[in-house]
Amino acid sequence: MSWASSRVTTRPEDRAYSLLGLFDVNMPLLYGEGEEKAFARLQHEFLRFSEDETIFAWRADHVQSESKPYWGLLAPSPSCFRDSKSFERSPFKPRLDIRPTAMTNRGINIDLQLVPFPKDRLRSVFLGILQCNDGVHLLAIVLQRLSGLEMQYTRAASDVLVAINLGIAIIPARRLSAVFLSGKNSAESLPNADDDNFKIRLNDVDSVGQSILVRPSPGECPSVAGFEFYPRARLLGTKLVAELVGTMAIKVTNGSSSWDRIHSIGANMVFHSIDFDPSNTDTFGVSNLRCRTGVGVLAIEVSFTPRDPVASPRKAFTRSSYVVVGLEPPPPNPFGTPSTYVQPWFGFHPVLDTQPSNRAFDFPIEDSNLSQDVLLPGWLLMTAKFTMQRHHYQYGIFYELELSIRDFGDRSD
C-alpha cells in the first residue's frame, strides 16, 4: 500500500488494479468505476482472507478530513498509506475469542479494543486500538458513536493515527477542540514536549473489547419512540430493604397532556408514556434540537406505610415532587465533530407550587430549579436513571425512567 501511495497511473482505477497480484486477489476490472470504488473493492477482497489490521492504519490529508466529518474503516485512496511503510502486525494476540471481520450492507463488523476518550462527557468518542504498530507505538484510530441505541460507530478525524505507548496517547494538538484544550491541565493530561502534539493518559480500566459496526456515514440512525414511566421505585441496599417493611407506593397525581396513561398487562400494571409522532421525528432530531427541551412533566407522590408502626425503624411519610423529562443536544466532543444523536435528561422539582400546564410545552421550569435527586423524609434519597426498553405491547424503543431510593449516606448500588 505504501508503494502504491505515490504511484501515478494513466487510468485512475489502475492504482488499485496494479495491486491485485501483490495481494493475490482476483476481481473483475471495471474501468469507469473510478479510483475510490476500485480501491474499496480491492480492500473488500483483501479482508476476505486476511486479518492484517494495518489495512485500517491509514491517514487522510487534513484537507480531505476537514471536507467531511464521518469516514468508514476503508481508505478512499492508496495515497492515504503514504506514511505506513514502517507499520507491521502485532505478534501478540490482544484477547481471546476475537470474531472475524465481516462486510455488511451497512458497514464493517469488527472486534476492536475500545478506550473511552478522556473528558468526553457524552462518552461518544473512543480510540479503537488496532493490532499493529509503527515499530515503537501501538496504533489507534478515532471512532465516534453514531447511535445511543446500538453499537454503531464511524471513523472521525481521519487525518489522525493515534500513537500509544505505555498507556500514553500522542495526538496532534491542532485536531483537538478549543474546549478540550482549555481543560488540558486536568489529571489526565501530561506535560507536552512540544506545542504540536498533546499527550494524554488513557484509563485502561475502561478499555473493553467488543464487536462493533463501523459505518462510512451515519445513514438513517434510528430514533427512540418516546418516554415511559412506571410508578414504582427500586430500593437500593440490603439494610434499607430490611428497614422499609411495609408499603412503598409511587402514585402519579397529575401530568402534562403529553403523557398518556395506559392500563395494560394485568389490573395492577399501569404506566405512562409519551409517544413521539412517527411522521415528525425531526422535531427532536440532532439537527433541530438546539437547546435542552422539556417534553413532559409528571406530579408524583411517594409514600411509605410501615407494616408495624410501633416496631418499624422507619416512620410513615408522604412526599410530593415533580419530575420533568426531555431531550437535549450532546456536549461538544474533544475533536469537535458533530454528534448524530440527542440524549435524554430528567430533573426533579420538589417545591413547584403550580400545576403542570395542560398543554404541550417546551422547557417549563428554569434549569436552576431542577435537581438530579430528591431528599425524602427519614434521610432517604430518591434519584432516577434512563434505561432502554422494548415492550411487546408497543412498537419501538423507549427511554424508561426508573426511580430508585437509597439511604442518604449509602452510595453503593
Please check whether residues 372 and 237 belong to one and the same domain: yes
**Inside any domain, residue 221:** no
pLDDT in tens, 203-234: 765 667 788 999 998 876 567 888 999 898 99
Please check whether residues 85 and 39 belong to one and the same domain: no
**Inside any domain, residue 382:** yes
Please check whether residues 79 and 203 belong to one and the same domain: yes
β-bridge mates for residue 263, sequence order: 270
Closest C-alpha to 292, from 248, 340, 246, 345: 345
Those residues whose C-beta lies under 8 Å from the C-beta of residue 94, and which sit 6 or more positions away, are: 113, 129, 131, 209
Please check whether residues 196 and 250 belong to one and the same domain: no
**Residue numbers of the chain with a pLDDT score lower than 70:** 93-96, 183-195, 204-207, 220-222, 263-269, 278-282, 350-368, 391-394, 410-413
Query: What is the model's pLDDT at position 403?
Result: 95
- Total of domains in the chain: 3
Those residues whose C-beta lies under 8 Å from the C-beta of residue 134, and which sit 6 or more positions away, are: 86, 87, 163
Please check whether residues 37 and 82 belong to one and the same domain: no
d(CA 131, CA 112): 9
pLDDT in tens, 33-46: 999 999 999 999 99
CB-based contact 298:254 (threshold 8 Å): yes
Look up residue 336 and give its three cell numbers. 469537535
Please check whether residues 302 and 190 belong to one and the same domain: no
Judge if pTM exceeds 0.85. no
**Inside any domain, residue 90:** yes
Please check whether residues 265 and 362 belong to one and the same domain: yes
**Inside any domain, residue 219:** no
CB-based contact 24:52 (threshold 8 Å): no
Query: What is the model's pLDDT at position 88?
Result: 92
Give long-range contacts, CB 8 A cutoff, 24+ apart: 205-208. Answer: 206/115, 206/116, 207/113, 207/114, 207/115, 207/129, 208/113, 208/114
Query: What is the model's pLDDT at position 365?
Result: 54
Please check whether residues 35 and 60 belong to one and the same domain: no
Query: What is the model's pLDDT at position 191?
Result: 45
Query: What is the model's pLDDT at position 268?
Result: 64
CA angle 389, 393, 394 (to 5 degrees): 60
Please check whether residues 46 and 88 belong to one and the same domain: no
Please check whether residues 106 and 64 belong to one and the same domain: yes
CATH number at residue 274: 2.60.270
Please check whether residues 196 and 240 belong to one and the same domain: no
**Inside any domain, residue 412:** no
Query: What single-letter amino acid sits at 96?
Result: L
Range of the domain at 37: 1-50
CA separation, residue 2 to residues 5, 60, 80, 347 (Å): 5, 13, 9, 54
Please check whether residues 357 and 391 belong to one and the same domain: yes
